[in-house]
């Protein structure tokens, strides 16, 4: 190993910052679109309700804060991964530092992201029950800790098989298959996700009323459409939780002032489950991008240093001889 621990640390910090910056940009310009959709559903579900408390931070502040947090997280993670590369340097067979950093990054991604996030996938803001945050967080962190242990065991098992000349499909089946079995056991026996994701809806809370100055022709068409389609959005003024008995409505003008409950799916131009699914996939993709940028940047910085020192080592060896 030609790099000192200090060299690994500084290159890890720089590579981690690069990975964090890439993740921050991904969050702002890609993942943020799905967060915006989730906020639209929240606004639609609260249509007609009394104004709630103002957000502590504006959306702009949240954007910059999220990006700063991603940069800081990437930098710290880069430092940790660089130290691990240095500590396991003699155990990782690779022609260059990029190969070592890539192997460590893949292992870290599996332990920190893939396994725990498949069991407890992230939700965009406003989605899920906030009362379950503490339980979900503790379950997630415990699973992450167990995943880290399992990945380290898999790494040393791979080394053990290699030292005994067992490689190829046999080694992959033993280590990879064992890791897959343990991960499946985690999914089966770890506490289930306590947060059922239910679409926000305001159908049971009528937020609109038919306008008093609505044209008669429009009201007649509304009544005819409601009778034809069996639409339950028109509610009984005396009990808005119940659908209006259309058989007792003589003509469209009688609908003036009638409460109307509209589903959020009709108010927002995006599928709720699709937005949640896309957010989860983009969250995992953002982490993958961060690890990939870290490994690439660290490899470029470290391998450049090693190659620069190679001629000097050769010359020193020749002079000694």
Residue at a domain's end among 153, 176, 196? 196
Tokens of residue 317, six digits: 């060896």
pLDDT at 228 over 70: yes
Examine the domain organization and report whether 109 and 44 are in the same domain.
Answer: yes
Q: What angle do CA 70, 75, 76 make, to 5 degrees?
A: 100
Structural domain includes residue 203: no
Q: Which residues contact 251 (CB under 8 A, 6 or more apart)?
A: 219, 220, 223
* Of 76-80, 180-184, 234-238, the least confident: 234-238
* Dihedral pair phi/psi, residue 4, rounded to 5°: -80, 170
3-class DSSP state for residue 197? coil
Which pLDDT tens digit goes with each residue over 2-50? 678 899 999 999 999 999 999 999 999 998 888 887 777 766 655 544 4
Structural domain includes residue 201: no
Examine the domain organization and report whether 89 and 72 are in the same domain.
Answer: yes
pLDDT at 233 over 90: no
Rounded to two decimals, the pTM is 0.76
Examine the domain organization and report whether 70 and 163 are in the same domain.
Answer: no
Examine the domain organization and report whether 190 and 229 are in the same domain.
Answer: no
The pLDDT score that the predictor gives to residue 321 is 44
- What does the H/E/C string look like for 175-218? HHHHHHHHHHHHHHHCCCCCCCCCCCCCCCCCCEECCCCCCHHH
Examine the domain organization and report whether 221 and 118 are in the same domain.
Answer: no
Examine the domain organization and report whether 72 and 106 are in the same domain.
Answer: yes
Examine the domain organization and report whether 10 and 102 are in the same domain.
Answer: yes
Examine the domain organization and report whether 11 and 88 are in the same domain.
Answer: yes
Structural domain includes residue 202: no
Structural domain includes residue 55: yes
Residue at a domain's end among 162, 196, 230? 196
Burial call 40-54: b when 16+ CB within 10 Å, e when fewer = bbbebbbeeeeeeee
Burial call 129-158: b when 16+ CB within 10 Å, e when fewer = eeeeeeebeebbeebbebbbebbeebbeeb
With residue 65 as reference, give the H or E element that holds it: helix 59-87
Examine the domain organization and report whether 254 and 291 are in the same domain.
Answer: no
Q: Yes or no: say if 97 and 306 are a contact pair by the CB < 8 Å rule.
A: yes
The pLDDT score that the predictor gives to residue 206 is 64
Residue at a domain's end among 240, 262, 284? 262
Q: Look at the chain and report how many structural domains it folds into.
A: 3
Domain boundaries, position 312: 1-127+269-321
Q: Yes or no: say if 130 and 200 are a contact pair by the CB < 8 Å rule.
A: no
Examine the domain organization and report whether 238 and 140 are in the same domain.
Answer: no
153 vs 205, residue with greater confidence: 153
Examine the domain organization and report whether 212 and 149 are in the same domain.
Answer: no
Structural domain includes residue 61: yes
200 vs 136, residue with greater confidence: 136
Examine the domain organization and report whether 35 and 69 are in the same domain.
Answer: yes
Q: Yes or no: say if 90 and 1 are a contact pair by the CB < 8 Å rule.
A: yes
CA distance 307 to 285: 32
pLDDT at 291 over 90: yes
Which pLDDT tens digit goes with each residue over 119-160? 999 888 777 777 888 898 999 999 999 999 999 999 999 999
């Amino acid at each position: 190993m030609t790099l000192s621990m200090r060299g690994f640390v500084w290159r890890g910090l720089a590579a981690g910052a690069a990975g964090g910056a890439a993740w921050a940009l991904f969050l702002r310009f890609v993942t943020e679109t799905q967060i915006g959709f989730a906020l639209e559903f929240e606004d639609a579900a609260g249509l007609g309700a009394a104004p709630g408390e103002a957000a502590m931070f504006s959306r702009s502040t949240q954007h910059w804060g999220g990006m700063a947090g991603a940069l800081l997280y990437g930098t710290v993670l880069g430092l940790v991964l660089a130290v691990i590369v240095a500590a396991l340097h003699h155990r990782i067979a690779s022609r260059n530092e990029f190969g070592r950093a890539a192997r460590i990054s893949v292992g870290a991604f599996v332990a920190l992201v893939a396994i725990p996030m498949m069991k407890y996938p992230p939700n965009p803001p406003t989605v899920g029950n906030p009362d379950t945050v503490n339980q979900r967080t503790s379950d997630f962190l415990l699973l992450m800790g167990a995943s880290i242990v399992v990945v380290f065991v898999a790494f040393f098992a791979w080394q053990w098989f290699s030292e005994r000349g067992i490689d190829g499909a046999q080694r992959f089946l033993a280590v990879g298959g064992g890791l897959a079995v343990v991960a499946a056991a985690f999914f089966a026996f770890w506490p289930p996700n306590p947060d059922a994701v239910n679409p926000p809806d305001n159908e049971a809370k009528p937020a609109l009323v038919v306008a008093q100055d609505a044209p008669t022709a429009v009201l007649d068409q509304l009544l005819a459409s409601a009778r034809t389609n069996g639409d339950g959005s028109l509610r009984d003024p005396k009990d808005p939780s119940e659908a209006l008995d259309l058989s007792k409505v003589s003509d469209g003008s009688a609908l003036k002032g009638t409460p109307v409950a509209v589903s959020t799916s009709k108010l927002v131009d995006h599928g709720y489950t699709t937005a949640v699914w896309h957010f989860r996939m983009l969250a995992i993709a953002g982490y993958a991008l961060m690890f990939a940028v870290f490994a690439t940047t660290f490899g470029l910085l470290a391998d450049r240093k090693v190659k620069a020192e190679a001629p000097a080592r050769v010359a020193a060896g020749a002079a000694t001889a």
